[in-house]
Amino acid sequence: MANRFCCGFDWPGAATADLDKIFNSVSGQYTIDSGTGRFGNSLRNAPVGPGETISLYPGFTHQTWVVGWAFKITAMPTTYRALVGFWDSGTAQCYVRVTTGGQFQFVGPGGVLATSANAILMNVWYYAEVKVTIGGAGVGNYELRINGSSVGWIPSAVGDTKTTGNTSANGIYWQALPYSAAYSYWDDIYICDGVDGTATQGATNADFKGDCRVDCYAPSGNGSNSGWTGSDADQVDNFELVNDGSEATYVDATGAMIDSYAMADIPAGVIPLMTQVNMRALKTDVAGCVLRPYVLSVGDVATGASINPGLTSVIYHEVMDLDPDTLAAWTRSTLNAAEFGIERVS
């Protein structure tokens, strides 16, 4: 499997308005709340109606997916409602829901496939992970782990997880649980799919990760390339213009060139499980523009997929799990020594 996406809602300058720049749809009262997450910010929902949903289409269509996320609720739902589900172009193939008593149920096209023996408590953070293979009876498979274990929750089992004519899903969605004067919180999301990774992703992420956290590290110094011009009209200390997440300060390129930056170090003891490069980008005129993420490690370069930005800023992301120098998974030391940046190709 390959890593495809992660989000911890803690990037510099993170604001609720950014949600539309990352997720494909945001329906309902979702906000990025400072200091309410497990280690910083969280995504919070204050429901005003049923079925409030936030969704992501990672750009891939696959049969097997693994999704992990931290969540907390402040009251039990008043009706059964999906917590996370798998879409085939807007139609739910299958989903996990929470009962009014706090139990989990895995639901396929024919109804409830399994109900957990355990129940969650209010105002407690849990780390949930769902692995699903989309398929008909005898082919489909599903499992739900909480805090790293499926014991008492929903162990791996075979069942019909296919609602449409396709044995695949291309979207993930989360729903707020219906209740009044209460909240749902999400944090530390990851998504993996069931195919081998690209040349920069590797193919080592084959199963559940367990309880994990998503941290954001911003540029902390100049790198080897300072070709772009800053909003301060020079090419000096460009990292200071892109490390706060603000669109008021930025770097600009009028032709093919690279800007790369030293990044803040990850702390001792941290094991990198996924490395995702995020870029907030737009163009200022109607002419064509092609960008791509850029990584430099001990003189070796890796570049990501091409991006064609529009006139509205979007936060683009690409998982780049391999060190271009060793062609192996990043270690803490190699990741801390690398430079990350952006290249304008044309």
Report CA-CA distances (Å) from 256 to 63, 147, 253, 292, 337. Answer: 38, 47, 7, 11, 25
Take residue 295 and report the two structure tokens written for it: 């990584």
Asked whether residue 124 falls in the same domain as residue 50, the answer is yes
Domain of 117: which CATH number?
Answer: 2.60.120.200
**Boundary of a domain, candidates 156, 176, 193:** 193
Structurally, the chain folds into a number of domains equal to 2
Asked whether residue 54 falls in the same domain as residue 182, the answer is yes
- Report the percentage of the chain scoring pLDDT > 90: 87
Is residue 19 helix, strand or coil?
A: helix
With 80 as the cut, is the pLDDT of residue 268 above it?
yes
Asked whether residue 35 falls in the same domain as residue 170, the answer is yes
Average pLDDT on 312-325 reads: 94
Asked whether residue 30 falls in the same domain as residue 145, the answer is yes
**Boundary of a domain, candidates 193, 211, 227:** 193
What are residue 288's phi and psi, to 5 degrees? -70, 155
With 70 as the cut, is the pLDDT of residue 1 above it?
no
Q: Give me the chain's average pLDDT, please.
A: 94
Task: Give the pLDDT score at 313.
Answer: 94
Asked whether residue 12 falls in the same domain as residue 149, the answer is yes
With 80 as the cut, is the pLDDT of residue 179 above it?
no
Task: Give the pLDDT score at 230.
Answer: 97
Asked whether residue 126 falls in the same domain as residue 232, the answer is no
Asked whether residue 227 falls in the same domain as residue 176, the answer is no
Asked whether residue 165 falls in the same domain as residue 224, the answer is no
Asked whether residue 326 falls in the same domain as residue 238, the answer is yes
Asked whether residue 167 falls in the same domain as residue 18, the answer is yes
Asked whether residue 163 falls in the same domain as residue 296, the answer is no
Average pLDDT on 144-151 reads: 98
Confidence of residue 206 (pLDDT cuts 50, 70, 90): low
Q: What is the DSSP letter of 17?
A: G
Residue ranges making up the domain that contains 237: 219-344
With 80 as the cut, is the pLDDT of residue 203 above it?
no
- The 10s digit of each residue's pLDDT in 58-96 is 998 999 999 999 999 999 988 888 899 999 999 999 999
Is residue 239 helix, strand or coil?
A: helix
pTM exceeding 0.75: yes
- Range name among 99-103, 174-178, 223-227 with the lowest pLDDT average: 174-178
Q: Is residue 199 part of a domain?
A: no
Across 135-286, the runs of DSSP E, i.e. the strands, are 141-146, 149-158, 171-175, 184-193, 219-226, 229-230, 251-252, 257-263, 276-281
Of the candidates 266, 178, 168, 260, the residue with the CA atom closest to the CA atom of residue 214 = 266
Asked whether residue 21 falls in the same domain as residue 150, the answer is yes
Q: Is residue 61 part of a domain?
A: yes
Q: Is residue 263 part of a domain?
A: yes
- The 10s digit of each residue's pLDDT in 84-143 is 999 999 999 999 999 999 999 999 999 999 999 999 999 999 999 999 999 999 999 999
Task: Give the pLDDT score at 177.
Answer: 81
